[in-house]
Amino acid sequence: MIHAVLINRFTLRMMQEDALMQIYASGDARAFEELYRRHKGGVFSFLRRQCDSFEVCEELAHDTWIAVIRQALAYQSNNSSAQFKTWLYRIAHNRLVDHWRKYGSSANVLFEELSDVIANDESTNQQPAIESHMQLEELLSSLATLSPEQTEAILLKIEGFSHAEIAEITSAKQETVKSRLRYAAKHLKLSMEFYA
């Protein structure tokens, strides 16, 4: 019996996510555990970089996974449907937007993380790093001026999503996503040219 369980767990680890979701929908909780193992960190990081409260991010991530559980039977993977990862991040995005609508948007933790990097580097007091500190501070200032939509598009692009997937996740048109990314990149480039 133990041997069969090990084979099944190994097999689950090798399976595509859409297949895992279908297996979970048919009643195998181990398939959900594998999906959760693969994506819990990414979903939490995505939320955390856009919300300043650790506790709120935990709650939003929890709500995201509860929605996956509740919608398992309705999940359909076919050529016209989103892949599991895109579907999952859309749920997380929707939970975040609902939170913002109810409580207002909060500071972006990505900016705080970069500020911490600057502070830690400055504490070492190394002269050659002064120019990179100035560049990092300028980047931080530039990022803070981006719209939440532009910041979210950049974060999703960093996560490896295509323009089409970002459009699906954010309920925006693909051209809108391209525009957000283009304007954000242009803005960041212009602000960084000062230090080039």
Q: What pTM value is reported for the model?
A: 0.70
User: 161: which DSSP letter?
Assistant: -
**How far apart, in whole angstroms, are the C-alpha atoms of residue 177 and residue 180?**
5
**Which domain covers residue 13, as residue numbers?**
1-106
pLDDT tens digits for range 83-98: 899 999 999 999 998 9
Which tens digits make up the pLDDT trace of 168-195?
999 999 999 999 999 888 887 777 665 5
Same domain? 3 vs 95: yes
**Per-residue tokens: 93:** 């995005």
For residue 192, the model assigns a pLDDT of 65
Q: State what percent of residues in the chain have pLDDT above 70.
A: 72
Residues 21 and 36 in one domain: yes
Find, among 7, 4, 34, 5, the residue nearest to 18 by Cα.
34
Residue whose structure tokens are 């939509």: 149
- Contact criterion met (CB below 8 Å) for 86 and 169: yes
**What confidence tens digit (pLDDT) does each residue in 109-138 have?**
555 555 554 455 555 555 445 555 566 666
| Same domain, residue pair 49 and 145 | no
- One-letter identity of residue 100: W
